A and B are shown apart, each in its own frame.
Chain A
């Protein structure tokens, strides 16, 4: 374990922020106070954080409909995000985007996306820009086992190889594309990375419930793609989705005891805690203190979101064009 104590605490905190942000939304959505469709990232935190802990603001990411985790891991403000999801005009996108369209260009976060598979072509463009600029920055696209079946993903993979874009395709296989199992919907079965390999990319695989697996894998992937001339790469992380496709999904497709089992044995936060305490690098007390701090931070974000200004009818008309 090469990470400093500070780096470990930071990584844990980032994952915990995502976890509690999503758990709180899961609760609050049931009150009916939050409008729209919400897709929670719980269970996949190690992927977003294990990837983004390597990135600077100059590196770009393109996210998905299940994007809160990617946004938080890339540095989007917790309060600004909570306000956005609550539909406030003080939100990161002034209440015009909502859960599925959170973006913060200054942080290198080029947008969550409501269209499955739409992000990868955008990340190819961002990766071409990184290549042109020649400063070793990269663009990362997150896709699930659903998006890996979209033609846009195939086009993007080929185009990235042809143009030698500095793009990384991160596939998060959480085993469900909406309500359908990957064993049915992904022709290559438990293997998405082999598709990227077939397009001519170097590929890696890792355990998406283990922060250290993700982090160490990404160290290699990033070193490769940041090297001029190498072009794109892909990585597949096997992970778990703790909630349904959307909030309100009755999840009748889950097996008996499945949710309890993955919460018990495939929880990245539990896995992290065990690793660092077994190794004696961090104490339970360190992590407990962070847990309490994060819970309070999320509570504060909800307080702020509830009190924040609501948008007005005039706000409908702004921000369509820069000039028209």
Chain B
């Protein structure tokens, strides 16, 4: 299998789908870059290099470079989707969702329901999220807990280049609105990616990335790799971890989580968003309710603290769940009696 970077998996999949279906259009700030400058179109090609070359291939009608107007971008995506197009809108940073939230949660997410099921809204909203770049409180957040709680949206959080490709293609071909969260610290990650232009990963199916008998670790995105490192460390001591990559937080693959906990009796959920009303808390509650009899220890959530994301290197490192913190959590649930 060929190797590819996470960011290249994004742009390659978009290009393949745009070539396949003329109704697929892209829009966002600087996705072309350089418009109206001496450098000319594609002088930048998207700040994450996730749209490089699309303008040259597909033209200005289908690769729409927008002003910095996040509400109008999301609203335009909604209008395009209601008009027979399949828009892929980029929100440059997930943190900017605050500016554009109405168009996502009051419009896109609710059209089908409010209109009595008589429409479809096939829009993909891509956004770069997460800490690790010392970008401080307004450019580093994990926003999935806000979006996962919104009925009408599907929320995707790929943790590998292969998953980017398989999940993004599914998102583009899905007839419901999909939030596609790309971790900015993973854009440079390299991995094997199937080059089959029909490679798709269905939503709501988690991936078991490590298998073990003693503890279940659930995560996604950047922190999934941290969990795998912990599992590999503990394997040397004979401790076996199931590491479950959720892939999508909405829909949620409850079955894979519950099946694993039935065997291990111990659960840790590692989540990059703040602890209150979080994905981690949600999954701990799910397991407490539906697998209570199997539990050998209380389910444990590993989140950052209830603070904004700090700037300085020392502070951001202290903020994020680390390999050491995750390992300590595993040892804590193993030691419970």
Interface of A toward B, CB cutoff 8 Å: 60, 62, 91-97, 101, 103-106, 110-111, 113-115, 118, 120-132, 139, 151-152, 155-156, 158-159, 162-163, 318-324
Tell me, in angstroms, the Cα distance from A101 to B107 when the chains sit together. 10
Contacting A at CB under 8 A, from B98-122, are: 102-103, 106-107, 111-120
Q: Does B296 contact A (CB under 8 A)?
A: no
User: B67, A162: Cβ atoms under 8 Å?
Assistant: yes
Tell me which of A104, A121, A123, A132 contacts B71 (CB under 8 A).
Answer: A121
Tell me which of A114, A130, A151 contacts B106 (CB under 8 A).
Answer: A114
Which A-chain residue is minimally distant from B153 (CB atoms)? A321
User: A94, B117: Cβ atoms under 8 Å?
Assistant: yes
User: A111, B83: Cβ atoms under 8 Å?
Assistant: no
User: B72, A320: Cβ atoms under 8 Å?
Assistant: no
Question: Min CB distance, B255 to chain A, in Å?
Answer: 14
Q: Could you say which residues of chain A place their CB within 8 Å of the CB of B118? A: 93, 103-106
User: A121, B103: Cβ atoms under 8 Å?
Assistant: yes
Which B-chain residue is minimally distant from A165 (CB atoms)? B76
Q: Does B79 contact A (CB under 8 A)?
A: yes
User: B83, A101: Cβ atoms under 8 Å?
Assistant: no
Which B-chain residue is minimally distant from A89 (CB atoms)? B116
User: B119, A103: Cβ atoms under 8 Å?
Assistant: yes
For B64, B111, B112, B115, the residue with the greatest tally of chain A CB atoms inside 10 Å of its CB is B115
User: B72, A324: Cβ atoms under 8 Å?
Assistant: no
User: A152, B106: Cβ atoms under 8 Å?
Assistant: no
Q: Could you say which residues of chain B place their CB within 8 Å of the CB of A126? A: 79-80, 82-83
Interface of B toward A, CB cutoff 8 Å: 25, 61-62, 64, 66-67, 69, 71-85, 87, 102-103, 106-107, 111-120, 151-152, 154, 174-176, 204, 251
Tell me, in angstroms, the Cα distance from A120 to B76 when the chains sit together. 9
The contact sample of 23 A-B pairs, CB cut-off 8 A, is A93-B114, A103-B111, A105-B115, A114-B106, A121-B71, A121-B73, A124-B79, A125-B78, A126-B82, A128-B80, A129-B80, A129-B83, A151-B71, A152-B75, A158-B72, A159-B66, A159-B69, A319-B113, A319-B117, A320-B112, A320-B152, A323-B174, A324-B251
Which B-chain residue is minimally distant from A167 (CB atoms)? B79
Tell me, in angstroms, the Cα distance from A244 to B65 when the chains sit together. 42
Tell me, in angstroms, the Cα distance from A111 to B222 when the chains sit together. 39
Q: Could you say which residues of chain B place their CB within 8 Å of the CB of A103? A: 111, 114-115, 118-119
Tell me which of B61, B82, B84, B154 contacts A324 (CB under 8 A).
Answer: B154
Which B-chain residue is minimally distant from A151 (CB atoms)? B71
- On whether A118 and B111 interact (CB within 8 A), knowing A60-B83, A126-B83, the answer reads no
Question: Min CB distance, A211 to chain B, in Å?
Answer: 28
User: B120, A322: Cβ atoms under 8 Å?
Assistant: yes
User: B116, A127: Cβ atoms under 8 Å?
Assistant: no
Q: Could you say which residues of chain A place their CB within 8 Å of the CB of B103? A: 118, 121-122, 152
User: B66, A97: Cβ atoms under 8 Å?
Assistant: no
Question: Min CB distance, A90 to chain B, in Å?
Answer: 10
Q: Could you say which residues of chain B place their CB within 8 Å of the CB of A94? A: 116-117
Question: Min CB distance, A133 to chain B, in Å?
Answer: 8
Which B-chain residue is minimally distant from A60 (CB atoms)? B83
Question: Min CB distance, B221 to chain A, in Å?
Answer: 21
Which B-chain residue is minimally distant from A315 (CB atoms)? B116
Chain B binding site: helix, strand, loop or mixed by DSSP?
mixed
Q: Could you say which residues of chain A place their CB within 8 Å of the CB of B113? A: 96, 319-320
Tell me, in angstroms, the Cα distance from A187 to B151 when the chains sit together. 38
User: A129, B67: Cβ atoms under 8 Å?
Assistant: no
User: B116, A159: Cβ atoms under 8 Å?
Assistant: no
User: B75, A110: Cβ atoms under 8 Å?
Assistant: no
- On whether A101 and B115 interact (CB within 8 A), knowing A110-B82, A132-B62, the answer reads yes
Q: Could you say which residues of chain A place their CB within 8 Å of the CB of B77? A: 125
Tell me, in angstroms, the Cα distance from A115 to B100 when the chains sit together. 13
Which B-chain residue is minimally distant from A58 (CB atoms)? B83
Which B-chain residue is minimally distant from A162 (CB atoms)? B67
Tell me, in angstroms, the Cα distance from A320 to B110 when the chains sit together. 8
User: B75, A130: Cβ atoms under 8 Å?
Assistant: no
- On whether A118 and B119 interact (CB within 8 A), knowing A62-B79, A96-B113, the answer reads no
Tell me, in angstroms, the Cα distance from A156 to B251 when the chains sit together. 32
Q: Kindly list 14 other residue pairs between chains A and B, CB separation below 8 angstroms, not including A156-B69, A320-B113.
A: A113-B107, A122-B82, A122-B107, A123-B79, A125-B75, A125-B79, A125-B82, A132-B25, A155-B72, A156-B75, A159-B69, A159-B76, A163-B64, A324-B176
Question: Min CB distance, A322 to chain B, in Å?
Answer: 5
User: B116, A93: Cβ atoms under 8 Å?
Assistant: yes
- On whether A124 and B64 interact (CB within 8 A), knowing A96-B116, A103-B119, the answer reads no
Question: Min CB distance, A208 to chain B, in Å?
Answer: 25
Q: Could you say which residues of chain A place their CB within 8 Å of the CB of B79? A: 60, 62, 110, 121-129, 139
User: B74, A121: Cβ atoms under 8 Å?
Assistant: yes
Tell me, in angstroms, the Cα distance from A151 to B76 when the chains sit together. 15
Tell me, in angstroms, the Cα distance from A322 to B251 when the chains sit together. 13
User: B61, A321: Cβ atoms under 8 Å?
Assistant: no
User: A323, B176: Cβ atoms under 8 Å?
Assistant: yes
Tell me, in angstroms, the Cα distance from A224 to B104 when the chains sit together. 32
- On whether A130 and B83 interact (CB within 8 A), knowing A121-B103, A151-B71, A322-B175, the answer reads yes
Tell me, in angstroms, the Cα distance from A320 to B117 when the chains sit together. 7
Q: Could you say which residues of chain B place their CB within 8 Å of the CB of A156? A: 69, 72, 75
Tell me which of B72, B85, B114 contacts A96 (CB under 8 A).
Answer: B114
